[in-house]
């Protein structure tokens, strides 16, 4: 049910946009709905994959310097429309002592906040959802409160179990439920802790405490970068990218963005062909889908290294990838990749930064 609902929305709105009688407003509405449902569907898939990766011990903490306020803007941009759809009040409140720039695992922190806020919105039918942040003694404390039905004390021990949220009506709620299990594991991975305060009819308050270091001010916020390629992602001189992907739509999408950014393109639809073209044509960088017919992308990357191709090879994967497979790749992106981040990575690896 969790996966079929957004998938049905995507299919139905796509059919609407293809109708001969569809107006410009119909098409715009359909595209926006498809985008929302697509992102939601991706979050469900990510939750399942992350659960598998966490269980397999494949998730490692990657701390970096980032703009916390930009991350909060991104989270609010995702959650506010979901709250608005249910006529809920949504707000993010940040204490004046919270530093704008911190050092921590931003990917883990983002997912923790989205999981907890998404859960609060999902189970609150009226009222509000609030995110409040403070910084105290080297720890970032994020408190998410809602005016939902609350959780009885007996059910609170089970609240972080996969697909469990107390009460008999949980089956009627949408969402994969795995988010809470993953949240607890991610918080523990960051060296933090989670507390829950709730009761029937009292709403829910979840507090997350994670250690962070204060960072220095950065020159630009990542959220200030536009979604479409701009001069920051443009190749400063002619560069060639080889794309190996058997999915026609994905190839077309990558080719579109890379052409706009000024790159020349070489196309391969299977890994064996990609290896031969890479060795003979020597592109500046290779984008390699892991799951291509015949020779896998991982095998192709290993073969390229064996044949002494020294350029960067970026993995594009919709599935889990082991540490052994990662060794032959310069970077790994999980599909659907964020194009802005991918373009910036390509520019950096081809020495255009």
The answer on pLDDT for 223 being more than 60 is no
The answer on pLDDT for 77 being more than 70 is yes
The highest-level CATH class for domain 225-349 is alpha beta
Average pLDDT on 49-74 reads: 79
Query: What pLDDT does residue 165 have?
Result: 41
- What letters, b where the CB count within 10 A reaches 16 and e where it falls short, cover 309-335? bebbbbbbbeeebeeebbebbebbbbb
Instruction: Tell the CATH topology of 64-214.
Output: Heat Shock Protein 90 (3.30.565)
Q: What is the pLDDT of residues 126-179, one digit of tens each?
A: 999 999 999 999 999 999 999 999 888 777 766 655 434 444 444 344 333 455
The answer on pLDDT for 63 being more than 80 is yes
Instruction: Please tell me the least confidently modeled range out of 132-141, 178-187, 323-332.
Output: 178-187
More confident residue, 214 or 58: 214
More confident residue, 86 or 171: 86
Confidence bin at 317 (pLDDT 50/70/90): confident
Q: Is the bond preceding residue 336 a cis peptide, omega within 30 degrees?
A: yes
Query: What pLDDT does residue 224 have?
Result: 38
Instruction: Please tell me the least confidently modeled range out of 59-63, 202-206, 239-243.
Output: 59-63
Nearest alpha carbon to residue 124 among 156, 155, 150? 150
Instruction: Please tell me the least confidently modeled range out of 56-65, 108-117, 272-281.
Output: 56-65
Query: What pLDDT does residue 85 have?
Result: 85
More confident residue, 227 or 52: 52
Q: What is the pLDDT of residues 271-294, one digit of tens each?
A: 999 999 999 999 999 999 998 889
The answer on pLDDT for 219 being more than 70 is no
Query: What pLDDT does residue 155 have?
Result: 74
What percentage of residues in the chain have a pLDDT greater than 90?
A: 36
The answer on pLDDT for 240 being more than 60 is yes
What is the residue-averaged pLDDT of the chain? 81
Query: What pLDDT does residue 205 have?
Result: 93
Q: Are 48 and 42 in contact (CB under 8 A)?
A: no
Query: What pLDDT does residue 229 have?
Result: 47
What is the residue extent of each domain of the chain? 4-55, 64-214, 225-349
Q: Are 181 and 132 in contact (CB under 8 A)?
A: no
Confidence bin at 220 (pLDDT 50/70/90): very low
Reduce the secondary structure of the chain to three states and give it as a string. Answer: CCCHHHHHHHHHHHHHHHCCCCCHHHHHHHHHHHHHHHHHHHHHHHHHHHHHHHHCCCCCCCCEEEEHHHHHHHHHHHHHHHHHHCCCEEEEEECCCCCCEEEECHHHHHHHHHHHHHHHHHCCCCCEEEEEEEEECCEEEEEEEECCCCCCHHHHCCCCCCCCCCCHHHHHCCCCCHHHHHHHHHHHHCCCEEEEEECCCCCEEEEEEEECEECCCCCCCHHHCCCCCCCCCCCCCCEEEEEECCCHHHHHHHHHHHHHCCEEEEEECCHHHHHHHHHHHCCCEEEEECCCCCCCHHHHHHHHHHCCCCCCEEEEECCCCCHHHHCCCCEEEECCCCHHHHHHHHHHHCCCC
Confidence bin at 241 (pLDDT 50/70/90): very high
- What is the C-alpha to C-alpha distance for residues 347 and 201, in angstroms, rounded to an integer? 53
Q: Are 182 and 167 in contact (CB under 8 A)?
A: no
Query: What pLDDT does residue 13 have?
Result: 83
Q: Are 315 and 329 in contact (CB under 8 A)?
A: yes
- What is the C-alpha to C-alpha distance for residues 133 and 208, in angstroms, rounded to an integer? 10
The answer on pLDDT for 21 being more than 60 is yes
């Amino acid at each position: 049910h969790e996966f079929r609902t957004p998938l049905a929305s995507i299919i139905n709105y796509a059919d609407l946009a293809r109708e001969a009688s569809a107006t410009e407003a119909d098409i715009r509405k359909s595209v926006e709905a498809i985008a929302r449902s697509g992102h939601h569907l991706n979050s469900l898939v990510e939750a399942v994959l992350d659960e598998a990766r966490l269980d397999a011990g494949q998730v490692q903490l990657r701390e970096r310097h980032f703009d916390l306020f930009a991350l909060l803007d991104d989270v609010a941009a995702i959650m506010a429309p979901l709250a608005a759809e249910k006529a809920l009040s949504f707000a993010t409140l940040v204490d004046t002592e919270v530093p704008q720039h911190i050092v921590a695992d931003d990917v883990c922190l983002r997912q923790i906040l989205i999981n907890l806020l998404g859960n609060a919105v999902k189970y609150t039918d009226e009222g509000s959802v609030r995110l409040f942040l403070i910084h105290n003694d080297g720890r970032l404390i994020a408190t998410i409160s809602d005016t939902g039905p609350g959780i009885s004390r007996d059910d609170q021990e089970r609240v972080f179990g996969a697909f469990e949220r107390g009460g008999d009506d949980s089956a009627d709620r949408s969402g994969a439920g795995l988010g809470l299990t993953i949240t607890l594991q991610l918080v523990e991975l960051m060296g933090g802790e989670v507390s829950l305060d709730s009761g029937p009819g009292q709403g829910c308050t979840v507090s997350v405490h994670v250690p962070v270091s204060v960072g220095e001010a950065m020159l630009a916020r990542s959220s200030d970068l536009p979604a479409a390629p701009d001069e920051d992602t443009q190749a400063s001189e002619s560069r060639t990218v080889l794309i190996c992907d058997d999915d026609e739509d994905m190839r077309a999408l990558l080719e579109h963005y890379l052409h706009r950014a000024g790159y020349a393109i070489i196309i391969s639809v299977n890994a064996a062909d990609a290896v031969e073209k890479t060795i003979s044509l020597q592109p500046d960088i290779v984008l390699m889908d892991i799951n291509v017919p015949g020779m896998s992308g991982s095998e192709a990357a290993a073969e390229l290294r064996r044949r002494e191709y020294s350029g960067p090879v970026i993995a594009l994967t919709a599935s889990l990838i082991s540490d052994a497979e990662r060794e032959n790749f310069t970077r790994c992106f999980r599909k659907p990749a964020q194009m802005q981040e991918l373009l910036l990575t390509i520019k950096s690896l081809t020495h255009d930064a």
